[in-house]
């Protein structure tokens, strides 16, 4: 293995300052509600609102300001995201059966009652982010969907983001952002109802806030900054590979783009192509810092070593620009989402293909997948024990409780035998 370009920064380093800032925000809003929420909105956002919630009239006016073509793009996004979520839902089934005579057991599939959807509002209005979080929740059957996004567009949320949220099924929309939005949804305030789960990507403060409120509410995952692993061989197109790496690098200064290649000449050609393409980005784009600080180019001996390395990195997006796609599909197992072939751009998933783009980062792909309709469903078991299953289970439980020294458990089981 040979490293042609090494990253200069480590995203995994614990930022104690961020942890403390977020902790203070959460505690203040937990104890003082809207008063502290207003304070932090005034502090962090240039255009704070008198009312956090967008009224029906405001939503209508924002949507009316959109042109027809933009609306069609958003409508197609929502349609495809919902269609994929609906197809996924058909694979999740309740269970009921007899596991021994008199022993009826199973599980039910029950949607979460209420969720909070966080939608980033950074440099660009991300038209798909709201539908990616909200549409699967709606398909799952969640009845109350609160959406929060920074009010950084003329004192409100960008109209395209609002339309996507409304079309996807958000029941309430609030113009607040950052850790303070997570706190408001997790603990509730005078104007915002507490939710049961928070989902959606965000910056380091949002990610840290989700981490700290976990337990008070459920969360989908700690997602971000963006990652891409591009795997190449001697058949890869350098121009397309470079474009794919840079596309993800422009998300954030800390985005991580990694090239893994079993062919050094191709890797060198991709590196030159990156130098050429990066000059076409706006001068203030995060792509320069991201690729400069976080970009990596690694040369491997063969396909097997490329697969092993990719599985160890467990990247958020893994795109395979190689001839032997079946081998990679079968042997790659750690990733957020897999993109097979030169035409399967990550950008399609980011925007409109229908698979969710809220995905695990920082090696979390080793133990979880991305946000999906199942994220909003609870698989909850039930049982009904009758004769003759009762005698069998009671005898077993009595004996086991006696061995364990649990008197109450033994009595609870034994009294069934007595009766």
10 Å CB burial of residue 320 (0-12, 13-18, 19+) is buried
**What CATH architecture is 225-370?**
3-Layer(aba) Sandwich (3.40)
Strands 218-219 and 197-199: parallel
Residue 9, pLDDT > 90, answer: no
Catalytic residue among 158, 251, 317, 321: 317
> What one-character-per-residue DSSP string does 204-258 give?
HHHHHHHHHHBTTBEES----S-EEEEEE-TT--HHHHHHHHHHHHTT-TT-EEE
- Average pLDDT score over residue span 160-169: 97
40-72 pLDDT, tens digit per residue, is 999 998 766 889 999 999 999 999 999 999 999
Question: How confident is the model over 222-245, as pLDDT tens digits?
Answer: 887 899 999 999 999 999 999 999
Which of 250, 316, 321, 357 is the catalytic position?
A: 316
Range(s) within the chain of domains with CATH label 3.40.50.1980: 16-219, 225-370
Name, in order, each residue with C-beta under 8 angstroms of 5's C-beta and a sequence gap of 6 or more.
259, 271, 295, 296, 297
Domain 16-219, CATH class in plain words: alpha beta
Annotation marks residue 317 as catalytic: yes
12 pLDDT higher than 90:
no
Let me know if 39 is exposed, middle or buried by CB neighbors in 10 A (0-12, 13-18, 19+). Answer: middle
Listed range (10-14, 266-270, 334-338) with the worst mean pLDDT: 10-14
Query: Position of tokens 């199973």?
Result: 106
Q: Report the Cα–Cα distance between both ends of the chain, in Å, rounded.
A: 71
pLDDT, residue 11, reads 63
Whether residue 13 has pLDDT greater than 60: no
Residues 83, 89: Cα–Cα separation, whole Å? 10
pTM recorded for the entire structure: 0.93
418 pLDDT band, cuts 50/70/90, is confident
β-strands 197-199, 114-118 pairing = parallel
pLDDT at position 79 is 97
316 is catalytic: yes
**Phi, psi (degrees; rounded to nearest 5) at 210:** -60, -40
């Amino acid at each position: 293995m040979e490293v042609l370009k090494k990253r200069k920064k480590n995203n995994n380093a614990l930022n104690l300052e961020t942890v403390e800032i977020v902790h203070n925000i959460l505690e203040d809003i937990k104890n003082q509600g809207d008063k502290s929420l207003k304070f932090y909105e005034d502090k962090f956002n240039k255009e704070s609102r008198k009312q956090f919630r967008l009224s029906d009239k405001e939503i209508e006016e924002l949507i009316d300001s959109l042109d027809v073509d933009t609306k069609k793009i958003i409508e197609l996004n929502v349609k495809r995201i919902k269609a994929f979520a609906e197809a996924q839902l058909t694979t999740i089934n309740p269970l009921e059966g007899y596991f021994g005579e008199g022993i009826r057991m199973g599980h039910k599939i029950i949607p979460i009652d209420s969720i909070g959807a966080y939608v980033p509002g950074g440099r660009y209005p991300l038209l798909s982010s709201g539908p990616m979080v909200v549409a699967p929740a709606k398909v799952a059957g969640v009845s109350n969907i609160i959406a929060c996004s920074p009010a950084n567009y003329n004192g409100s949320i960008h109209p395209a983001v609002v339309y996507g949220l409304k079309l996807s099924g958000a029941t309430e929309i609030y113009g607040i952002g950052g850790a303070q939005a997570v706190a408001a949804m997790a603990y509730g305030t005078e104007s915002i109802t507490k939710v049961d789960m928070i989902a959606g990507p965000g910056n380091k403060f949002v990610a840290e806030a989700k981490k700290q409120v976990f337990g008070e509410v459920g969360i989908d995952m700690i997602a971000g900054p963006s990652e891409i692993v591009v795997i190449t061989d001697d058949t890869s197109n350098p121009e397309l590979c470079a474009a794919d790496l840079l596309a993800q690098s422009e998300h954030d200064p800390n985005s991580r783009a990694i090239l893994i290649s079993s062919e050094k000449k191709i890797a060198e050609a991709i590196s030159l192509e990156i130098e050429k393409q990066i000059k076409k980005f706006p001068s203030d784009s995060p792509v320069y810092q991201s690729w400069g600080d976080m970009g990596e180019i690694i040369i491997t001996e063969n396909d097997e070593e490329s697969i092993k390395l990719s599985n160890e990195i467990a990247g958020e997006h893994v795109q395979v620009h190689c001839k032997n796609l079946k081998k990679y599909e079968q042997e790659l197992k750690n990733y957020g989402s897999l993109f097979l072939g030169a035409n399967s751009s990550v950008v399609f998933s980011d925007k409109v293909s229908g698979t969710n783009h809220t995905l695990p980062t920082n090696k979390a792909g080793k133990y979880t997948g991305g946000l999906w309709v199942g994220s909003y469903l609870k698989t909850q078991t039930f049982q009904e024990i009758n004769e003759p299953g009762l005698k069998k289970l009671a005898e077993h439980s009595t004996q086991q409780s006696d061995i364990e020294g649990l008197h109450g458990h033994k009595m609870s089981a034994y009294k069934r035998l007595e009766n």
